[in-house]
């Protein structure tokens, strides 16, 4: 399977990128192909301008060259993975802008749905699972990603996974998180 792995974090030396590296290694070891899209270093502009605003009057809209290129990139893959830190109980603005611009009317919803069968949302949270459960943040985030985005765009198999307590400095904790990321890649879409 060909998996587009989209990573959103401003620092290459972040735990997010370390987790992405391990996830990709798991994908590779399982026999999948992957392309990593680093939203920050790719120069992607997350701001939605008029050229990429959804056109509700027709189905044949052409979007900006940048968005058309990303749509073509997505079409070259069978499945999707998004790896990002949990900021303010949501995805970073860069990733939200990518979704706003690329998952557009006529491609991801409306007259057409995404062709992908699987998506993994891997979010790194400084909070513990108990902290996210306390106010229902885990359910809210999972519902938004699985239903509000993936299901709306026609992806039948959407899964949200969290790497918890990412700021924990206890010996072995970071390695445990990275092993979890590797295992998610190894068992992707099973």
- The strand pairing partners of 122, in sequence order, are 83, 161
pLDDT in tens, 5-61: 999 999 999 999 999 999 999 999 999 999 999 999 999 999 999 999 887 776 677
CATH number at residue 123: 3.40.50.360
- Structurally, the chain folds into a number of domains equal to 1
Predicted TM-score (pTM) of the model is: 0.96
Q: Which domain holds residue 52?
A: 2-186
pLDDT in tens, 115-173: 999 999 999 999 999 999 999 999 999 999 999 999 999 999 999 999 999 999 899 99
Ordered DSSP codes for 33-99:
EEEEEETTTTT------GGGS--TT-S-----HHHHHHHHHHHT-SEEEEEEE-BTTB--HHHHHHH
């Amino acid at each position: 399977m060909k998996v587009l792995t989209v990573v959103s974090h401003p620092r290459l030396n972040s735990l997010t990128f370390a987790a992405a590296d391990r996830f990709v290694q798991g994908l590779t070891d399982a026999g999948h192909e992957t392309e990593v899209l680093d939203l920050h270093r790719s120069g992607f502009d997350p701001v939605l301008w008029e050229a990429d605003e959804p056109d509700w009057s027709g189905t044949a809209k052409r979007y900006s060259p940048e968005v058309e290129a990303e749509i073509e990139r997505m079409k070259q893959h069978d499945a999707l993975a998004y790896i990002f830190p949990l900021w303010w109980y949501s995805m970073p603005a860069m990733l939200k802008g990518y979704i706003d611009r690329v998952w557009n009317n006529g491609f991801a919803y409306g007259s057409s749905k995404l062709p992908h069968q699987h998506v993994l949302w891997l979010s790194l949270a400084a909070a513990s699972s108990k902290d996210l459960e306390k106010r229902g943040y885990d359910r809210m985030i999972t519902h938004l990603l699985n239903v509000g985005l993936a299901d709306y765009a026609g992806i039948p198999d959407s899964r949200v996974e969290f790497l918890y307590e990412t700021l924990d400095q206890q010996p072995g904790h970071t390695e445990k998180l990275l092993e979890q990321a590797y295992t998610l890649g190894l068992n992707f879409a099973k």
